[in-house]
Structure 1
Amino acid sequence: MTGVSRSGSGARGVSPGARPSPNIWHHTATYEIENRAVDPDGLLEAAMAAQASWAGRTVLDVGCGTGFHLPRFAEAAASVVGVEPHHDLVAIARRRTKRLRHVSVLQGTAQDLPLPDASVDVVHARWAYFFGPGCEPGLAELDRVVRRGGTAFVIDNDPTRSTFGGWFRRSFPEVDPEAVQRFWTGRGWRRTPVEMRWSFSSRADLEAVVRIELTPDVAEAALAGHEGTEVDYAVNVWSKDY
């Protein structure tokens, strides 16, 4: 999660109003390993592309972190904008995309996007909205910046399914999946469930990522009971047309 939707951060170099994201903010290199391991089959991208194309359009990646996804969108999009509240991650994202002239990275938050009205066609927010309730100011900003005919996608964990979902549920029992689903559906968003996977190149990489994503006790129990370098992982792709 890259932490752009709720209030509460006063950290140096972080935009006011950003919610801290302890995994990528404090373990940036390990989170890069996680990004490379996520969804090797491209199921999330396929789920989005089935609903809206970004070819020749303007894409906004909210909570873009180190800009991992920006080059991929840039392959087809006319222009791509990443928004991220953490200054150090903004710097990494800019270095990553410095040769892509149609990609820009701006520092800002979901609830105060540094973009003009009706300026983007497709929005991608992956692990950036923290499970619904509390995200209302960010969603109001999407209403402002997405053009008529545009589509927004929010990708988040589904703790009701999969091996990772079980681990997540034990780590964060305060997250109520039913409340999350009511939040999104009540605001007119569509749910597309996706069963993807993590696939790591080594057991050490898997262990490092599990330890930044889960509470310490749950992480150690999960690793003790799980073999190999892959984990089945359920997510929801929430989408809305404007």
Structure 2
Amino acid sequence: MAKLPPGAPRGTIPSPNIWEHTAAYELENRGVDRDGLIERTMRGIHDWSGATLLDLGCGAGFHLPRWAGADPSGGRAARVVGVEPHPALAALARRRVRSLEGVRVEVGSAQQVPLPDASVDVVHARWAYFFGPGCEPGLAELSRVVRRGGTAFVIDNDGSRSTFGAWFRRGYPQVDPPAVIERFWASHGWNRESLDIAWEHDTREDFETVVRIEFDPRTADAILAEHPGTSVDYAVNLWWRRF
């Protein structure tokens, strides 16, 4: 397991893929959901135009420019806050958005969000911390920081279907079964949108690089031996709750 870097908040849960392979994780972000289905679905539920948006677990800040309107198709939040527990990644995120108005990045965790009560309208958390049972402290923080009428979104893998879902079940057999995760979210008042997206990379080399940061060497070798090409179908869950 990745070690906590100096300055990381107490209780931070390591994220080995982006912490140990930041450049490769950037490739992964570029290849996921190039059609923008996740963002379009989010906007259909709660448009963040003119709102305050929190990107929780923002990593190196890949999505922050989208929320701030750098991508014309993505809406324009009035204020964007990125929160990231890894200080070095937070520094990269700050550098990424230094020319954008109304955007700031703070070091913090899902369990201790460095924001006042009822201060944000929309929360985005993608493959960060909220993986079902055990994330209750983070859910309590969402209830604290989201304004009444606001919405939180959590994007996670759907291990029940798709080619990538089968890889995920093979590589992470210790993760709670999909039915357990679904019951967990439903019991906390969250809704689910089942989305079919894809990993689509420009070269086989990029595809292999990304597979190898997400799976142990033995599983990655097996996946790459059986799966040709540069893309894979990928099912995700978009969990959301109105506050």
Q: TM-score w.r.t. structure 2 length?
A: 0.95
> Aligned AA for 1:16?
R
DSSP 3-state at the match of 1:50: helix
CA distance in 1, matches of 2:188, 2:235: 22
Within the alignment, does 1:88 sit opposite 2:88 as a pair?
yes
> Aligned AA for 2:91?
A
Within the alignment, does 1:199 sit opposite 2:167 as a pair?
no
> Aligned AA for 1:137?
P
Structure 1 gap segments, 5+ residues each: 1-7
> Aligned AA for 1:237?
L
Contact 2:130 2:138 in 1 (8 A): no
Superposition pairs of residues 88-127 of structure 1, within 5 angstroms? 88-127=88-127
Q: Which residue of 1 aligns with 2:66?
A: 72
Change (3 A) 1:65 1:153: same
Contact 2:58 2:84 in 1 (8 A): yes
Contact 1:9 1:17 in 2 (8 A): no
CA distance in 1, matches of 2:212, 2:198: 17
> Aligned AA for 2:201?
F
1:14-33: per-residue Cα shift (whole Å, max 9, x none)? 22111000000000000000
Q: TM-score w.r.t. structure 1 length?
A: 0.95
Q: Which residue of 1 aligns with 2:54?
A: 60
Change (3 A) 1:130 1:152: closer
Q: Which residue of 1 aligns with 2:166?
A: 166
Contact 2:4 2:14 in 1 (8 A): no
Within the alignment, does 1:12 sit opposite 2:13 as a pair?
no
Within the alignment, does 1:216 sit opposite 2:210 as a pair?
no
DSSP 3-state at the match of 2:193: strand
Q: Percent identity?
A: 62
> Aligned AA for 2:13?
R
1:166-224: per-residue Cα shift (whole Å, max 9, x none)? 11100101112111111101101001000000110100000000000012111110000
CA distance in 2, matches of 1:16, 1:216: 30
Runs of 4+ in structure 1 over 6 Å off: none
> Aligned AA for 2:27?
I
Contact 1:61 1:123 in 2 (8 A): yes
Superposition pairs of residues 36-55 of structure 1, within 5 angstroms? 36-55=30-49
Matched length: 235
Structure 2 gap segments, 5+ residues each: 70-75
Alpha-carbon deviation of 1:143? 0.4
DSSP 3-state at the match of 2:28: helix
Superposition pairs of residues 145-184 of structure 1, within 5 angstroms? 145-175=145-175, 176-184=177-185
Alpha-carbon deviation of 1:226? 0.6
